[in-house]
């Protein structure tokens, strides 16, 4: 039984999708005005593990992740760079796929763009207007928060408390400072490519309406899973609930899932603090496999402090994972078709149950390391059938469930293989000076040597 920590109820609930084993999952995507950064990676790796585990447990998933391709920030950046908004957007959509592919994130089934949904967005707003939840002010259209009695149920913020704590009054002729924009009138200096005709004049959608429309278009009135970072709970997801449920009268989302914040060396990640890192920058120093592993070491809902020390520790741990796997490859040339060894079946079930419990990758990793230690202990004593089952389970844990790509055998390079053979010969003859010399040469070429108890050695590319 899978349990999910639902932000809406603030408790773990048994996961029961609306339609048997079919799961609809909507994850908020990037606003395409800048490169993908560390916070994005935290979210998309977390939801990648969620998706992988649901698939492993037999669910069929329709996964939608949007691109916000029209927004104030996009318009501002395009004007700064003297580039068309559409061209700017495409640069950062391409960057998104380049960087997330390096993190081995499974593709969503659909990546809708806001600009593809303008008729649906306008129709949605007209429906809200007809139900008296929306009103126009000089070409801008706002959602009347006071009309939606359940406002604040996701973020646990009461409207009265928000009002008493506010330092701003009514502005732009809105009925309330807390009313949010559904449609924004085009300003004089803004490019025409970012403006659409509507019943209220030329303009573009507000941020919150986009996800409500795209999800309803692709899934219907109610989604099984909707999620993103905790920073989206308020106001973005709160506003999505208000406008969606005001329109349909039905629950918008069954399970709200949010990943925790990322800090950098104990400080909030911020451009003003100069600790804001894009994935491209991080990958210049650390292998994407290391970054992915590091992101899995904490439960997705917990805060994650990103530091060089943490990444270095993850790098060393991953090197050990690679070492064990390459030793295993050198001992068995095939992976078993199934697991039937009782001890391994028990370990497999413990691993899967850890992920059943709100997708706890941190706990699942502990069982993965338990398997690694068993392999290293039994590598030269276990029979071939057990070794083949080791390999299958290792690959299932790492690649299938956690998305950690494992290395392949590093013996395709003839020059390296000759050096390895020469070193093995030197070791056989107890010529330790020559053995160490060759090890250093191999090390300079970016490889490590792992020596086995039987006298053989394997090559392993350094991470």
Instruction: Tell me if 138 sits within 8 A of 173, measured CB to CB.
Output: yes
Rounded distance between C-alpha atoms, residue 15 and residue 21, angstroms? 11
Per residue in 270-304, pLDDT (tens digit) is 777 778 789 999 999 999 999 999 999 999 999 99
Q: Is the pLDDT of residue 55 over 80?
A: yes
Per residue in 419-461, pLDDT (tens digit) is 888 888 888 888 999 988 998 988 888 888 877 766 667 777 8
Q: What are the tokens at 210? A: 């986009």
> Residues, the chain, total?
463
Per residue in 344-384, pLDDT (tens digit) is 999 999 999 999 999 999 999 999 999 999 999 999 899 99
pLDDT value at residue 122: 98
Burial (0-12, 13-18, 19+ Cβ within 10 Å), 205: buried
CA 291, 62, 238, 141 torsion-angle sign: positive
Find the distance separating the first CA and the last CA of the chain, reported in whole Å: 37
CB atoms within 10 A of CB 412: 9
Instruction: Tell me if 255 sits within 8 A of 4, measured CB to CB.
Output: yes
Rounded distance between C-alpha atoms, residue 460 and residue 331, angstroms? 15
Upper half-sphere CA count for residue 62 (Cβ side, 13 Å): 14
User: How confident is the prediction for the chain on average, in pLDDT?
Assistant: 93
Per residue in 56-114, pLDDT (tens digit) is 999 999 999 999 999 999 999 999 999 999 999 999 999 999 999 999 999 999 999 99
pLDDT value at residue 455: 65
pLDDT value at residue 183: 98
- Per DSSP, the residues of 139-207 read TEEEE-GGG-TTTTTTTT--HHHHHHH------TT-SSTT-EEEEEEPPTTS-GGG-B--TT-SEEE-H
Q: Which residue has the higher pLDDT, 415 or 240?
A: 240
Q: Is the pLDDT of residue 196 over 90?
A: yes
Given pLDDT bands bounded at 50, 70 and 90, which one contains residue 171? low
Span 130-157, mean pLDDT?
Answer: 96
Instruction: Tell me if 68 sits within 8 A of 32, measured CB to CB.
Output: yes
Domain 3-259 = CATH 3.40.50.620: yes
Q: What is the dihedral of CA 374, 391, 406, 449, to 10 degrees?
A: 60
Instruction: Tell me if 107 sits within 8 A of 64, measured CB to CB.
Output: no
pLDDT value at residue 163: 59
Inter-helix orientation angle 72-81/85-102, to 10°: 110
Q: Tell which residue, 153, 332, 161, 330, has the closest CA to residue 244.
A: 153
**Domain 279-401: assigned CATH number:** 1.10.730.10
pLDDT value at residue 164: 46
Q: What are the tokens at 118? A: 């303008």
Residue ranges of the domains in the chain? 3-259, 279-401, 414-461
The proportion of the chain whose per-residue pLDDT surpasses 90, expressed as a percent, equals 78
Q: Tell which residue, 326, 422, 364, has the closest CA to residue 52.
A: 364
């Amino acid at each position: 039984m899978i349990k999910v920590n639902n932000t809406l109820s603030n408790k773990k609930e048994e996961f029961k999708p609306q339609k048997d084993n079919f799961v609809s999952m909507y994850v908020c995507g990037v606003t395409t005005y800048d490169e993908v950064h560390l916070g994005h990676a935290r979210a998309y790796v977390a939801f990648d593990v969620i998706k992988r585990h649901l698939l492993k447990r037999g669910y069929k998933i329709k996964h939608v992740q949007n691109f916000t391709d029209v927004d104030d920030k996009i318009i501002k950046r395009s004007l700064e760079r003297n580039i068309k908004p559409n061209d700017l957007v495409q640069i950062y959509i391409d960057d998104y796929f380049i960087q997330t592919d390096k993190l081995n994130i499974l593709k969503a089934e659909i990546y809708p763009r806001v600009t593809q949904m303008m008729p649906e967005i306008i129709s949605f707003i007209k429906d809200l207007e007809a139900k008296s939840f929306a009103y126009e002010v000089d070409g801008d259209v706002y959602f009347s928060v006071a009309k939606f009695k359940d406002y604040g149920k996701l973020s646990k913020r009461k409207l009265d408390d928000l009002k008493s704590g506010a330092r701003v009054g009514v502005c732009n002729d809105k009925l309330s400072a807390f009313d949010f924009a559904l449609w924004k009138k085009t300003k004089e200096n803004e490019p025409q490519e970012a403006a659409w005709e509507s019943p209220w004049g030329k303009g573009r959608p507000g941020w919150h309406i986009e996800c409500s429309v795209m999800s309803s278009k692709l899934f219907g009135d109610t989604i099984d899973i909707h999620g993103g970072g905790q920073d989206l709970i308020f106001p973005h997801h709160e506003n999505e609930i208000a406008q969606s449920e005001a329109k349909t009268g039905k629950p918008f989302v069954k399970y709200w899932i949010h990943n925790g914040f990322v800090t950098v060396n104990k400080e909030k990640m911020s451009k003003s603090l100069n600790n804001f890192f894009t994935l491209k920058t991080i990958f210049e120093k650390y292998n994407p496999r290391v970054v992915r592993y590091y992101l899995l070491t904490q439960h997705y809902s917990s805060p994650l402090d990103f530091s060089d020390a943490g990444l270095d520790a993850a790098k060393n741990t991953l090197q050990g994972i690679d070492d064990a796997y390459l030793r295993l490859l050198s001992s068995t040339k095939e992976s078993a078709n199934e697991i039937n060894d009782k001890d391994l079946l028990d370990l497999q079930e413990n691993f899967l149950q850890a992920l059943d419990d709100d997708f706890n990758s941190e706990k699942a990793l502990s069982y993965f390391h338990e398997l690694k230690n068993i392999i290293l202990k039994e590598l030269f004593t276990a029979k071939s059938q057990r070794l083949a089952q080791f390999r299958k389970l290792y690959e299932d844990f790492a690649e299938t469930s956690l998305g950690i790509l494992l290395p392949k055998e590093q013996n395709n390079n003839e020059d390296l293989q000759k050096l390895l053979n020469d070193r093995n010969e030197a070791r056989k003859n107890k010529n330790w000076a020559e053995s160490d010399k060759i090890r250093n040469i191999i090390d300079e070429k970016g490889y490590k040597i792992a020596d086995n108890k039987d006298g053989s050695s394997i090559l392993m590319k350094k991470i």
